[in-house]
Structures are given as C-alpha cells and as structure tokens.
Structure 1
Amino acid sequence: MTFFLGYMEGGNKMDTKKIDAKIRHILIPAILENAFLILSDMILTGYIGRLTISEISAYGISTRIYGIYFSILKGFGIGAMVVFARAFGSKNKEKGLLYYKQALIISLFVAVIAAVGIWLFPNELLSTMSTDSRLLTYGASFLKVHVLAYPLLAIIHLNSAVFQADGNTKTPLYIATIGNGISVVLGYILILGFGPVKGLGLYGAAITNNVRIIVMMLVGLYLLFAKNGMFDRVKIEKPIFNMDMIKDVLKFGVPTAIGNSFWNFASVFLSTFILTYGEKFYAAYQIGLQAEGFCDMMASGFLTASMALASQAIGANDEKMYKSAYQRLSFYCLIISGINMIFLLLFSKQVLYLLTDKEELVAIAHVYLLLMVFSQFPEMKSKVLYGYIRSAGLSTLPTVIDTIGIWGVRVFLCYLVSTVLKMDIVWIWWIINADQWVKYLLSLLVFVVKKLINYLSVSPYKVARCSGR
C-alpha cells in the first residue's frame, strides 16, 4: 500500500479533520466547476450540431487552435500559483500582489503576440489539420472574431490561480458559473436565433465565447481589487517591475505551460492514428471521451489542492501541514479513483446510450471505457505528485515526465501499433493506460529519490527557501 500511496513517514499527527476540511474546501468547488464546464460545453456543442456539417467540422478544427492557446496560458497560471501560494503562506499579500503583476506582464505579452499571429495567419494554422477550402473559410472567419478576446484569457487564468493559491476555489467556481450561464443562454440566441433575432451560426458562437471571456475577466478583477476584495488595501511600495520575481514566475510558469499544452498537440497525432482504423472508431473514441468526462470531473482539483497546500506549507515553514496534506490527498486519491472505477465498470454503457443511439459506436466506446479503469489511480495520484514536485522548485521535472509519457509512450507506440504493425485498436487503449502508469511511476520515483516528503527539513532545500526561491 505504501508503494501506491507514495513515500510516507511516521510522526505526522496533525489534526486530520482540519486538513481534510481544507482539502474538501478546495476539491468540491473544483469538481463542481469542472462539472458545469462539461455541461455547458455539451450544450454549446448541441447548438453547433444544428448547423451545417461544414460549419460543425470548421468549429472542431478551430477549437483545436483555441485549445492549444488556452492550455498554454492555463498552464502558466498553474505554475505561477506556486509563488502566489508561498507568498500567502508567509502571510505576505503585498508579495503575492507583486508576483501577480509580474506574471501579468509576462503572460499578457505572450498572449497578445500569439493572438496577433492567429489573426494574421488563420488559414495557415488551420491547413495543418484540413485542406478542405470550405472548412478553411468557415474556420478562418470564426477565428478572426474569436481571437479578439484571447489575450484576456491570460488575466482570467492568473485571477483563478491567485484565488486557488489562497485555498479559495469557490470564487473561481462562481466566476465560471457566470461564464457558463452566458454560454448557454446567449449561445442559443446568437447561434440559432430566437424570436426576431436571427441566428449568426459560427459568428454567434465566436461572439458568445468573447462575451463570456470578457465578463469572466471583469468579474475576476472586481473580486480581486474592489472593496473587500482579496487585494483591497494592499499597497505596493516597491517598483512594480521586479526582475528577480519575474525569474521566479518564469521558473515555475514556463515548464508548466509547456507540459500543459502537450496533450493538445499530441491529440492531433492521436486522432490521425485512430482515423486509420476508420471513421466509426474515431467517432466512438470521441463519444468515449465525453462519457469519461465524469472521471475527469471527479479528478479535477487534485493538482490545485496539492500545489496550494504544499506551497502554503512551504511559505509558512509548516512541516506538519506539508506531510499531512500529502498523506490525506493520497487517501482521497484512492477514494475518488475507486468511485471512477465503479462508474466505468457499471454505468458507462448507460451514459454512452445517452450520447448516441448507434449500437456499433457504443460497443467500441464501451471497450475503451472498461480499459480506462486501469488509468484512474495513476492519473489522479500523478496530479498530487506533480503538485509537490513543482512546489519544491523542481518545476521542469513534470514537463520531462510528460514528454516521456505522452510523446515517448503514447504517441510513438500508437504510431507503431496503428501505422507500422497495424494491430487491433484495443492496443491503442492499452497504450493510453501505459502512458498514465509511466508518468505515475516516474513522478513517484522523483518524489522518493529527492526525498520530497522531507522537503522542509532536508538541508539543500533549506538553502533554496532562505534565498526566497
């Protein structure tokens, strides 16, 4: 059992009720936020699904561009959360605000440059996925409008990271709920039309998403800086531009942004490999991913919780909290992964029938979901280990591990199985499992070899903490 939970030591007798309350305070809102996001995405997809086939396909390839952009900025925010949480753990909100502003300078600069590139060259980007002139025309038109709000995502993700670094996942939940509500209501009116309002199709979808992004950004800034906000009355006496802080933000933010975007890049290749088996297998895989959304929903929050609690403990130099949080998060991983396994084994087929009425697709997707039972624990526990590894300042190692797992195992072996050896598609599902186990075992190895459970007492790390890094 110790092997699966990770390296643990005795002598950690902190009040488990207190730490459990902190974990639940973070996990439950994160689960609800992801649940609402999945629901609103399904509804929005339903609206798009009533347009022409060309528009539907164009929307699909365009959102891949958005997904890569989104994941990079979100990953940067997740990485920056380490320095935010350390500042809050040491009860220094001024330092936290300074770090926030450094992160904002960096991410907005990158976000604007990337958005301009997408606006100028939408056809070139989309042509990497399709050569159909109709799809390129529709997709480019969609991106030209949608990309106008892209840079604001940098602010949204950093706002969310600040709240989460303080252990507050309820506020990001409220902000996301408002945004998702806008998508559902405004999306119906602008995409399909309502009463005298004529539907705008893909333009309506782009405008809807832009309005959602603008509102979420404004609400987040208000809750941070308005009266009684998190940074209300926090004054900065030091220069806003601080090179040492920028280096800290880059150290944690850049590797996480790269690692977080890997899946979006790899999914392009994986889709190509699965399509070699035929369109029905690819369609079944997409349906299976939607059904698997329940598992993703339940697993959400573990990375946030581990990074926030570990970084806060480091900032406060609280060894008991640091160790106890790890042990309790490991325990919750077992519980939640068990729930996910039961869902996949007993209820996944019923969910598939809600998503499609085609028996052949259900049969293929159900095999995929049954085999994903083996991925639940390693995928979830890796999130906890990644959080502790990043909080300890080893920010590049999770990216290295992701590179090995996603590209060295998943992409390479899927190419080998599908294109070279032409083996049954079931081997693709097993490779996906292997990817999760490789990443888990490598992250566990790092955790044990680096003795991260003793981070607050091992001398090399003491030096790092004393230097402010």
Structure 2
Amino acid sequence: MIDSEDGRAIRRMIFKLAGPSLTEMLLINLTQMIMMIFVGHLGSTSVAAVGFTSQIYALMTVCFAALNTGTTVIVARSVGSGRREDANRAAGQSLLLGTMLSLLIMFAGLLYGEKLLFMMGANEDVVQEGLTYARLMFISIAFSSISSSLSAILRGAGDTRTPMKINVLAAYLTVSLGFVLIYGHLGIPVLGTTGAAAATLIVQFGAMLVFLLVMFSGKFDLALSWREISHFDKKMISRMLSIGIPASLEQLVMRLGIMTFVKIGAGLGTTAIAASQLVTNVIGLSFMPGAAFAIAASTLVGQSLGVGKAELAERYVRQIRKYGMALAGVIGAIFIVFAPQILSLYTNDATMIREGTWALRIVGFIQVSQISQFIVGGALRGAGDTRYPLYSTMIGVWGVRVVLSYVFVYVFGWGMIGLWSAVACDQFLRSHLIYLRYQRMAWKKLKV
C-alpha cells in the first residue's frame, strides 16, 4: 500500500513531468487539428494530399526513435545516479548523429517525394495538389528532428517545462502564420496546402534555433558544448543504439503497417481516404495524453532504476496508468457521443462526415486500451526493455491490423467500419501483450 505522504509525493512527481508534457502535446495536436480544419475547407483532394504526405513523413523520421529513446534512457539513468558527465556526453552524441541523419533523410525526401506519393496510392490530382507541400515538409525534417532530439534530452533529465514553453509558442505561431498563408491575407496570395507547409517549415526552423540556444546556454540541468559534438564517441553511440534500435524498428514496423493500412483504405475512394485522414487527425488528440504519461513513465522508471529503487518505479507506473485510463475513458465517451459534431468542424461534406463518424465511434471504444499500451510501453522502454514493444507491434500491426483490414474491406465488404474495426482489434491485442510483459517484472533487473 502507498501511505498518504508517499502517495502525495508520487502524484507530485508524476504531474511535474506529465503536466507540462500533456499541456504541450495537447496544444501541438490542437494546432494540427486547426491546420487540418484549414486544409479541410480546401476540399477532399487537399486533405488526401496532406494525409499521404503525413504517412511518408512519419515513416522517414522513424530512425530518430532510436536516438531519442536511447538518449532518454541513458540520460534518465545517468541523472538518477548522479553521473552528469555521461548525460551530457549522450546529449552531444545524440545531436551530432541526429543532425547528420536529418540531412540525409531530407535529401532523400526531395529526390523521391513524387514517387513515394504514387506508391502510397495517390492519384494524379492528389500528387499535383500535394507535391510542393510534401517537399517543403521534407525540408522541415532537418529542423524538427533536431528539436525532437533536444526535447528528448531535456525530458530524460526531468525537465518537461522547457520543451513545453518552446513548442507551445511554436504551435501558436504555426496556426497564425498558417491562416495567413493558406487563405491569403496581409497582401499575400492564397497558397493553399503549400501555405500550410511553408508555415510549418518557418516555425520549425525558429524552434530549432531556440532549442539550440537553450542547450548551449549552460543555464539548465544539462548543457551541450562543442567538445561533446566535435567527434564521435563510439562507445556512447553503441549504448544509445543498442537501446534505441528496437524502438526505431518498432516505429518502422508500425509505419510500414499503417502505410499498408492506408493503401488498403485507398481502395474505398478519395472521399474515404479524406474521411480516414480527418479521423486520424482527431484521434491524434487522444494520443497526446498517452504520449505525455508515457514520457513520465519512461523518465521516472529510468531515474528510479538508476538509484536502485525498482519498487518505487512500479508504484509510479501503477499511479500513472490509473490516471491515464480515467482520462482516456472521458475522451472515448466524447468521441462516441459527439463524433458527427467533431467532424463537421473540418468539412461540410455529408459523405465524409457519415463515413468518418463510424470510424471515430469505433476508436472511442479503444481509448482505455490504447492509453494503457502507451504508458506500460513507456515504462518498459524507460527500463531499457525496447525489444518486446517491437515484437508486440509486429504482431498487432501486421498480424492483425493489416490482415483484418484487407479481409474486412475486400472479403466481407464492410467498408470504413471494417477498416477501423481492424484498428480496434490491433489495439486490444497489443495492450494485452504489453501488460503481460510488464507483469513479469523482468524489466526491474535490466542493465543499460
């Protein structure tokens, strides 16, 4: 049992970390929703173009999961055990390697962007509408990936407030600039989807500069110096990648599976693709609490194990999961009850609203399972167990989501209901597998 004093201390630590991250991620997701609302009023072709690009963008950035996960775990363990030099060295190597990777990925996107859109199932009209948008978004990878790496470093050290402040300001500026550029105000011509990408690119560049200034200022818990990023530390990079590569492979497996899922859905037509993209944008709101609580779980588990307090780590996870599942129940109920009203914010197209309503209501029923998977998976990664989440993702996304979506859509002819029912089956299974792994408690004895 947790006594009242310990319980209050645990709650304070949880919300000290999760509170800023939750605020940050909710506002970032709200920004994405507003930008999609702006695009939604341009028509289904524009929505489909943005949706296809988003899937490619997510796939191209999965390698940063290896760096970010490995960095967060090592920084959290190092800070927990008082080894600040190791934490700073991990931060420097993460920035060095991340910068090189981001430039390679950016150039690959610029060279093969058009082919990738066609491979996703986009038709000629969608590609013509979205190619410039896609290229600008691929350029932005060079900036957003560096910002995400620096955010991971700060969060691993227990500082979630600084990333929150920077990213909340960036979210506000993205919406403001996006409105001007998309619809053409202040003497600027109407740019449509190109304006949405341009706004994102400009603001992400600015956010990256602010993150770099923060990390080199020496005024925060961790500080970078040119000494740490002027050379490769093979031993530190090997430690980060041994932890992070399974997490990166997990993201790769997931993204390839989701791209296949999107391509299966593309067979239902452009309107269905657009409706699915709107639903995906809405449910991003429900990912944010899970991601925020997962960050708290990863950091607190890592720091607790760093000082040899495995039982404290377990108590943190128990409380985080309780709070997360309660919040997810509320979000799920809102999705189920108000699905048509939510989707009508994006579009006046009755068909898109009708198709999307089925999907959003199905998603409402999986919110509790989804957030449990996020939190417990975050706890396992914080302990250094990044392999099992990879295995569960392979089983859930490819063995369940992809296979059942094809069967439900093309064999049974269930359309959007079948497509999103496959997502529900995937989430239920993965949540169960991850929790069974956690209950074995082998994560308490892992060395990183």
Corresponding position of 2:96: 105
8 Å CA contact 1:291, 1:348 repeated in 2: no
CA shift for structure 1 position 266: 2.5
Distance in 2 (alpha carbons) for counterparts of 1:351 and 1:112: 38
Distance in 2 (alpha carbons) for counterparts of 1:56 and 1:235: 43
Cα–Cα, structure 1 residues 423 and 135, in superposed 2: closer, same or farther, change >3 Å? Answer: closer
Cα–Cα, structure 1 residues 74 and 14, in superposed 2: closer, same or farther, change >3 Å? Answer: farther
Corresponding position of 2:77: 86
Cα–Cα, structure 1 residues 392 and 60, in superposed 2: closer, same or farther, change >3 Å? Answer: closer
Matched length? 448
TM-score scaled by length of structure 1: 0.85
TM-score scaled by length of structure 2: 0.88
Q: What is the aligned-residue RMSD (CA, Å)? A: 3.0
8 Å CA contact 1:223, 1:230 repeated in 2: no
Which of 331, 334, 347 is the equivalent residue of 1:340?
Answer: 331
Equivalent AA in structure 1 for residue 213 of structure 2? Y
Which of 349, 356, 365 is the equivalent residue of 1:365?
Answer: 356
Corresponding position of 1:409: 400
Distance in 1 (alpha carbons) for counterparts of 2:224 and 2:430: 43
CA shift for structure 1 position 40: 1.8
8 Å CA contact 2:291, 2:374 repeated in 1: no
Equivalent AA in structure 2 for residue 98 of structure 1? R
Corresponding position of 1:447: 438
Distance in 1 (alpha carbons) for counterparts of 2:159 and 2:251: 22
Corresponding position of 1:3: none
CA shift for structure 1 position 363: 4.3
Distance in 1 (alpha carbons) for counterparts of 2:150 and 2:367: 30
Question: Which has the larger Rg?
Answer: 1
Corresponding position of 1:5: none
Cα–Cα, structure 1 residues 197 and 351, in superposed 2: closer, same or farther, change >3 Å? Answer: closer
Corresponding position of 2:366: 375
8 Å CA contact 1:101, 1:240 repeated in 2: no
The C-alpha deviation readout for 1:405-446, integer Å capped at 9, x for no partner, is 011110111112222343464343332222112111211222
CA shift for structure 1 position 281: 4.4
**Is 1:128 matched with 2:116?**
no
Long gaps (5+) in structure 2? none
**Is 1:171 matched with 2:162?**
yes
Which of 412, 427, 430 is the equivalent residue of 2:421?
Answer: 430
Which of 301, 311, 315 is the equivalent residue of 1:310?
Answer: 301
CA shift for structure 1 position 251: 1.4
Distance in 2 (alpha carbons) for counterparts of 1:237 and 1:275: 47
CA shift for structure 1 position 402: 0.6
Distance in 2 (alpha carbons) for counterparts of 1:186 and 1:350: 27
Within-5 A mapping of 1:286-301? 286-301=277-292
Corresponding position of 1:331: 322
8 Å CA contact 1:55, 1:135 repeated in 2: yes
Over the matched positions of the two proteins, sequence identity in percent amounts to 22
Corresponding position of 1:270: 261
Long gaps (5+) in structure 1? 1-9, 456-460
Moved more, 158-167 or 235-244: 235-244
Equivalent AA in structure 2 for residue 303 of structure 1? A
CA shift for structure 1 position 340: 2.3
8 Å CA contact 1:284, 1:361 repeated in 2: yes
Equivalent AA in structure 1 for residue 211 of structure 2? G
Equivalent AA in structure 1 for residue 301 of structure 2? A
Higher helix fraction (1 or 2): 2
The C-alpha deviation readout for 1:372-392, integer Å capped at 9, x for no partner, is 343122211112221222233
Distance in 2 (alpha carbons) for counterparts of 1:60 and 1:371: 20
SS at match of 1:223: helix
Corresponding position of 2:87: 96
Distance in 2 (alpha carbons) for counterparts of 1:223 and 1:241: 22
Moved more, 305-314 or 103-112: 103-112
Corresponding position of 1:62: 53
Corresponding position of 1:214: 205
8 Å CA contact 1:77, 1:161 repeated in 2: yes
